[in-house]
Amino acid sequence: MPLNPTVAVVTLRATLGRRRALLFAIAPVILIVLTLVLRAGRPPGTLWPERVLGDFGFSVLLPLTALVIGTSVLGAEIDDGSIIHLLATPVRRRDVIATKFVVASVLTMLFTAVPELIAGLIAPSGAKLAFALFAGALVGSVIYSAVFVMVSTVTARAIAVGLLYVLIWEALLANFVGGARILSVGHYALGVANAIAPDQALNAGLSLATSLVMAIVVAAGALVLATRRLTSFAITGDSA
């Protein structure tokens, strides 16, 4: 994948600047604190680790953190117009998208998959489930990042559109309408986790093969569309 180190450095500094890392850390801290509180207050043997780490982790922590980071790496620059300085150079647009996508994926992994692993190791459900959730969150971080980078190139209201998608599609329809799971990034992540540590309480609706194939298709499709959109980037709101 053609990455541009200069784009990566500037993107990282822009994304993590102004103490934004603290904002990204809020949800992971909630997950870990919740796990600590539940471990201290509940007897072992109940299904709370799967509910907290699977449902909260994959339906709330993962998509919302990916949304904030995925739309920050590109959408913020498009919003404030500073993207012009990047696009007024011969850098290929696909390199820009690929770099933004990798930066978003790595940051999302850092703020979702790593906390999932830590919380999983704290919970009394065993290391195997912890690593399964970690692997699922890694896959989810990559796919969500591709989707939200793409959304940034399609609409100026990326956060609002992404939030509606997460709350209505991922958190509601995908969990209650069986057919919707085939197009649910959260369920691709759960499918991977469930394949490593099979557990009915995870409510995984897709097999490993289906999850991986769909994950690749969705990520590749999102990145191709994002590249096309950025290649045709036009300055809007022109006063002529």
Partner 1 sequence: MTTPHPAPPRPATRAVLADTIELRNVSRWYGNVVAVNDITMTIGPGVTGLLGPNGAGKSTILHMIAGFLAPSRGELTVAGRPSWRNPRVYEGLGLVPERDSVYAFLTGEQFVQSTARLHRLPDPDAAARRAIDVTEMADAAGRKISTYSKGMRQRIKVAAALVHDPRILLLDEPFNGMDPRQRLHMMDLLAKLGAEGRAILFSSHILEEVERVASTIQVMVAGRLAASGDFREIRRLMTSRPHVFSLRTSDDRRLAAALMGRPDVAAVELTGKGLSVRTTDYGAFTRQIAVLARAEGIRLRELQPTDESLESVFGYLIGASSNAS
Query: Which residues of the chain form contacts with partner 1 (CB under 8 A)?
Result: 4-7, 9-10, 13-14, 17-18, 80-82, 84-93, 231-235, 238-240
140-158: burial string, b at 16+ Cβ within 10 Å, e else: bbbbbbbbbbbbbbeeeeb
Interhelix angle 62-72/185-196, nearest 10 degrees: 130
Distance CA 126, CA 117 (A): 11
- Which residues, other chains included, contact 95 with Cβ-Cβ below 8 Å and sequence gap of 6+? 2, 3, 4, 7
Residue 123 C-beta: closest distance to partner 1, Å = 39
Kindly tell me which of 133 and 225 has the beta carbon lying closer to partner 1: 225
Kindly tell me which of 4 and 112 has the beta carbon lying closer to partner 1: 4
Residue 154 C-beta: closest distance to partner 1, Å = 17
Interhelix angle 62-72/20-41, nearest 10 degrees: 170
Residue 28 C-beta: closest distance to partner 1, Å = 24
Size (the chain), residues: 240
Distance CA 218, CA 216 (A): 6
Spacing of C-alpha 149 from chain mean position: 10
Residue 146 C-beta: closest distance to partner 1, Å = 22
Kindly tell me which of 200 and 232 has the beta carbon lying closer to partner 1: 232
Kindly tell me which of 200 and 239 has the beta carbon lying closer to partner 1: 239
Residue 57 C-beta: closest distance to partner 1, Å = 32
Kindly tell me which of 40 and 234 has the beta carbon lying closer to partner 1: 234
